[in-house]
Structure 1
Amino acid sequence: MRDVEAVDAVVIGAGPNGLVAANILADAGWSVLVLEAADEPGGAVRTGEITAPGFRNDLFSAFYPLGAGSPVIAGLDLERYGLRWRHAPEVLAHVLPDDRAVLLSRDLNTTAKSLETFAPKDGDVWRAEFAKWQRIRDHLLNAITGPFPPVRAAGGLARTLGAADMLRFMRMATLPVRKLGEEWFKGEGGRVLLAGNAMHTDLGPDQAASGMFGWLLTMLGQDIGFPVPEGGAGCLTDALVNRLTARGGRVECGRRVTKVLTASGTAVGVRDVHGELVRATRAVLADVPAPLLYLDLVGEEHLPDRLLTDLQRFEWDDATIKVDWALSGPVPWIAQEAVLAGTIHLGGDVDGLAGISNDLACNRVPRNPFLLIGQMTTTDPTRSPAGTEAMWAYTHVPAGQWTPDRLKRRADRIEQVIEKHAPGFRDLITARVVAGPAELQELNPSLVDGAINQGTTAIHQELIFRPVPGTGRADTPIDRLFLAGASAHPGGAVHGAAGGNAARAALARSKWTGGAYLTMNKALNRMLYG
């Protein structure tokens, strides 16, 4: 065994949140070591040639509207370290069962005209809503990505909107997306555009706050699109790693952390799978799901009973099946709106999406799945040889035993759905790779049972309830241990906010070396956990 290494901070996990946290700490002059279980960094932001030679398929996440819009990631200036964003000609198309489609474009008039094919005045509604977005976007994105409560950003939002409109905005934030769509739009296009984007979470059309998620993603799509890193999602990871190493930070892969070491209620370091110890003189930050951090890495004996009870109630989001294809040519969509779109929604109108959500809630596999599809070569021509298409689709399913035969049948069903709306699609397939819940978790242990958001997006597990009832901050009951993954506020998606919040909390803690911080922390813990 090597001598015990000492650094200012150990970061567990080299996903985007972990790498963002490490960069912010390195900017402050801290010595930082990131320990990653996998053989390469990135977590759910990785790319590989898994289908056919020359086809670069993103293994997990692919499109990054929140990444490109995140003030946390923007502050890192990753373009200096190789990141380049690419855009499809059009952002997103939602294809209805009868092959009508609504198009989201970065061109405001194009989106509005698409909505007007469903109802004449819906384009005006969209223009007005986007004008409001432009007024509040910076305050809102700062509020979303900062620690809770977002006092300064919320104040700016309130001043911009005024008291009356602020109250109406807060009401909108609570609405189910079906209700929001019905209040705003006369036609089906606007309603399904919002609902389909809400389904990027695990929220169905009739669940509280789904309207907010649908609105946020569509406004981001209108504003900055659904961009991708040129060359693959892994190029975003490469930029984060390059930036960190330029500041003296290190990432070591193949070093799964098995234990967070504590002394007198304080995190003092970690032990890895090889038995090696690393001392953390200032902080340990964990980019792993909350249940894994607390129950596996810390241990029940070090935690308050009430926290353990809360963790038993922790709710994962739906499981996921993902299919990647190498296609010999572009997809022959009947709906022309889908031809140039980077992202495609396929699988129903609002009622159909509600039925799918209900099936999942009842632990049933939906007969007609909702598909979120990425046409990656359409978006970034470097992803596959000229004239071909690297494409993927994912769909949510109940967690459970997904045998190879069961996975194959589900992938076949996904292809049948696409074939119906793009006759000849199956003839273009030259290679296919299917990943079910177990395969996704094996590739990335943080995707427990294929849950891609590290916990439900439902309102009972957001804000001060994420990951359990608490403060909405990165602090944990263990002093100098900070939760930096998507289980923490503000949750899933690649925006780096959870990592940024954890890093700032660690920096703040390091300045409070006297008894004031510990007294406050103990008081909070007594209030929360008894």
Structure 2
Amino acid sequence: MATESVDAVVVGAGPNGLVAANALADAGWEVLVLEANDVVGGAVRSAEVTAPGFTTDLFSAFYPLAEASPVIRGLDLPAYGLTWVQAPTVLAHTLDDGYAAVLRRRVEDTAAALEADAPGDGEAWTAMVEQWMRVRDPLLDALFTPFPPIRPGARLLRRLGTTQALDLARLAVTPVRRLADERFRGIGPKLLLTGNALHTDIPPDGAGSGIFGWLLCMLGQDVGFPVPQGGSGELAGALAARIRSHGGDIRTGARVTGIEVRGDRACGVRLADGTRVTARRAVLADVSAPTLYRDLVGLGKLPGSLARQLDRFQWDDATIKVDWALREPIPWRAGDSPTGPAGAGTVHLGVDDTGFVDFAADLSAKRTPRRPFLLLGQMTTADPSRSPAGTESAWAYTHVPVGSLGDRESVAAHVERMHEAVERCAPGFRDRILATHVQSPADLQDRDANLVGGAINAGTSGLHQQLVFRPVLGLGRPETPVEGLYLASAAAHPGGGVHGACGWNAARAALGGGGPVRRRLLRTTWGRLLPDE
């Protein structure tokens, strides 16, 4: 049986695992990344799956969080082949009657269009962006820092003062519909805020949905919704190239089946082919929380309280995604202006302001929505290299209840609903389809084991499973009850999105060796006492 030894093993080559490996390699550690799939990237991958010459992002596609993340920006990925490009317009929400609310690249242009719809809304939008710019840097640092974010939080408080800090705290727990009603009169800002909030699984009347809608709108207004030129796989490729340039190793087709624990310490991993890799310093796991604790470690080696809390772990809603090769761009009812949906990289559609509530209610009641809310990507519009000139590589996804669409007939029926939604906003859309590729919730999991049941956020974004509650009751940190083992996936705080913070925080914790933080974690959370040093 083959055995080898390195300083650290990273299980999983998703974006968080790759960021973690970069951080450890930068510190001079001997790092080995083990990935079960044949290519790196996790949910950041692209391929030709519809028609020759059409590049499709298989999972995630637009990366405002990556562009704004101090973690990703600090890695200088353009030096390793990454080029960011953007569509002429950031985002649009179009309705069946042809109306479109548009988030444009310049604040003045977005505000002017909103003002034309409802006097006062342009000024209110500008004020919201100004609020964002005041808090931007310390807020992002706080979001991407292990909880509690003491230093970034102090900076944020100093910058805002008590009254404005309380206003921001209220925004963080305000439902997005309430937020929109408080600040705007017209439908345009409400569509933009609510549509962005529904990138998560929090309903529009749910506490905490406002902060997500606000954050994505403000990031779109600030950095846009950029995409990697050539496909999302180029982002993963740049991360991997950087690891190798710093002496790290990446092995694909290497499925880890267990994490070896001796004396409460992680000491290595077992692979499906029988290979054992010893980790002299740490094991970092870019896998889902249930997979790490139940399958790779085993509940018998963990505190009983953890097993009970895992029983309460909640996945986010499932996802179905349809990819298209189109012979021509989508014929939007709103027209072909580059300042409307025709020029937008991301388009929201399928529901109006009240339709958001109906859609969320269906998901909450475990009903497959009859009128789905769609997030649609026009990838050639954002990056002309994605398909032949004059064509469009596009996709759309929508959420469905966990466990639904369990057979081909139900999948086909929902794909038809998705086609109908696009056709209502763009008559003649079907006639432009050259090829279609469908990824059901089960297909998504087959391609990436972390997308359990088609859940793309590694667990609900609801407040009951965020911050100190993510993935279970704890301190919102990457440390685990096993010494030398760190959770480096989106299951850890701050959660989903391609920002790299989960992997970076895990690497920082590993480099620090846990120390007093880990001992306090084990005492207060898991009921396991360690001797003081």
With structure 2 as the length reference, what TM-score do the two structures score? 0.97
Letter in 2 for 1:356: F
**Residue 102 (structure 2) pairs with residue 99 (structure 1):** no
User: In the TM superposition, what is the alpha-carbon distance from 1:528 to its structure 2 partner?
Assistant: 8.1
Alignment of 1:425-440 (within 5 A): 425-440=429-444
User: In the TM superposition, what is the alpha-carbon distance from 1:410 to its structure 2 partner?
Assistant: 1.3
**Residue 392 (structure 2) pairs with residue 389 (structure 1):** yes
Kept after mapping to 2: 8 A contact 1:304/1:529: no
Q: What CA distance in whole angstroms lies between the structure 2 residues aligned with 1:363 and 1:475? A: 34
Residue 450 of structure 1 is aligned with which of 445, 451, 454? 454
Match of 2:349 in 1: 346
Overall identity of the aligned pairs, in %: 55
Q: What CA distance in whole angstroms lies between the structure 2 residues aligned with 1:179 and 1:528? A: 43
Question: What is the DSSP-based 3-state SS (H/G/I as helix, E as strand, rest coil) of the residue aligned with 2:510?
Answer: helix
Kept after mapping to 2: 8 A contact 1:347/1:353: no
Match of 1:198 in 2: 197
User: In the TM superposition, what is the alpha-carbon distance from 1:118 to its structure 2 partner?
Assistant: 2.6
Match of 1:378 in 2: 381
User: In the TM superposition, what is the alpha-carbon distance from 1:402 to its structure 2 partner?
Assistant: 2.5
User: In the TM superposition, what is the alpha-carbon distance from 1:399 to its structure 2 partner?
Assistant: 2.1
User: In the TM superposition, what is the alpha-carbon distance from 1:405 to its structure 2 partner?
Assistant: 2.5
Q: How many residues align?
A: 525
**Residue 24 (structure 2) pairs with residue 20 (structure 1):** no
Alignment of 1:151-190 (within 5 A): 151-190=150-189
Question: What is the DSSP-based 3-state SS (H/G/I as helix, E as strand, rest coil) of the residue aligned with 1:9?
Answer: strand
Structure-2 change in CA distance of 1:420 and 1:522 (3 Å):
closer
User: In the TM superposition, what is the alpha-carbon distance from 1:408 to its structure 2 partner?
Assistant: 1.7
User: In the TM superposition, what is the alpha-carbon distance from 1:527 to its structure 2 partner?
Assistant: 4.6
Letter in 1 for 2:377: G
User: In the TM superposition, what is the alpha-carbon distance from 1:191 to its structure 2 partner?
Assistant: 1.2
Kept after mapping to 2: 8 A contact 1:205/1:350: no
Q: What CA distance in whole angstroms lies between the structure 1 residues aligned with 2:154 and 2:129? A: 21
Q: What CA distance in whole angstroms lies between the structure 2 residues aligned with 1:266 and 1:527? A: 17
Question: What is the DSSP-based 3-state SS (H/G/I as helix, E as strand, rest coil) of the residue aligned with 2:512?
Answer: helix
Match of 2:486 in 1: 482
Match of 2:470 in 1: 466
Please provide the CA RMSD for this pair.
Answer: 1.4
Q: What CA distance in whole angstroms lies between the structure 1 residues aligned with 2:524 and 2:23? A: 26
Letter in 1 for 2:439: A
**Residue 43 (structure 2) pairs with residue 39 (structure 1):** no
Q: What CA distance in whole angstroms lies between the structure 1 residues aligned with 2:517 and 2:425? A: 59
Q: What CA distance in whole angstroms lies between the structure 2 residues aligned with 1:526 and 1:434? A: 43
Q: What CA distance in whole angstroms lies between the structure 2 residues aligned with 1:211 and 1:448? A: 26
Q: What CA distance in whole angstroms lies between the structure 2 residues aligned with 1:517 and 1:109? A: 46
User: In the TM superposition, what is the alpha-carbon distance from 1:349 to its structure 2 partner?
Assistant: 2.2
Q: What CA distance in whole angstroms lies between the structure 2 residues aligned with 1:117 and 1:274? A: 64
Structure-2 change in CA distance of 1:190 and 1:528 (3 Å):
farther
User: In the TM superposition, what is the alpha-carbon distance from 1:520 to its structure 2 partner?
Assistant: 4.1
Q: What CA distance in whole angstroms lies between the structure 1 residues aligned with 2:261 and 2:417? A: 49
Residue 441 of structure 1 is aligned with which of 438, 442, 445? 445
User: In the TM superposition, what is the alpha-carbon distance from 1:523 to its structure 2 partner?
Assistant: 2.4
Q: What CA distance in whole angstroms lies between the structure 1 residues aligned with 2:82 and 2:47? A: 17
Match of 1:331 in 2: 330
Structure-2 change in CA distance of 1:132 and 1:119 (3 Å):
same
Kept after mapping to 2: 8 A contact 1:307/1:529: no
Kept after mapping to 1: 8 A contact 2:92/2:347: yes
Q: What CA distance in whole angstroms lies between the structure 2 residues aligned with 1:339 and 1:293? A: 43
**Residue 272 (structure 2) pairs with residue 273 (structure 1):** yes
Question: What is the DSSP-based 3-state SS (H/G/I as helix, E as strand, rest coil) of the residue aligned with 1:339?
Answer: helix
1:223-271 CA deviation, whole Å, 9 max, x = no partner? 0100000000000000000000001111101111100000011000000
Kept after mapping to 1: 8 A contact 2:523/2:529: no
Alignment of 1:122-271 (within 5 A): 122-271=121-270
Kept after mapping to 1: 8 A contact 2:10/2:284: yes
**Residue 423 (structure 2) pairs with residue 419 (structure 1):** yes
Alignment of 1:506-521 (within 5 A): 506-509=510-513, 512=515, 519-520=519-520
Q: What CA distance in whole angstroms lies between the structure 2 residues aligned with 1:230 and 1:151? A: 37
Match of 1:364 in 2: 367
Structure-2 change in CA distance of 1:334 and 1:247 (3 Å):
same
Kept after mapping to 2: 8 A contact 1:441/1:447: yes
User: In the TM superposition, what is the alpha-carbon distance from 1:517 to its structure 2 partner?
Assistant: 6.8
Match of 2:496 in 1: 492
Q: Which runs of 4+ in 1 moved over 3 A?
A: 516-522, 524-530
Q: What CA distance in whole angstroms lies between the structure 2 residues aligned with 1:521 and 1:123? A: 47
1:25-62 CA deviation, whole Å, 9 max, x = no partner? 00000000000011111000000000000000001000
Structure-2 change in CA distance of 1:522 and 1:214 (3 Å):
closer
User: In the TM superposition, what is the alpha-carbon distance from 1:126 to its structure 2 partner?
Assistant: 0.8
Match of 1:59 in 2: 58
Q: What CA distance in whole angstroms lies between the structure 2 residues aligned with 1:528 and 1:479? A: 12
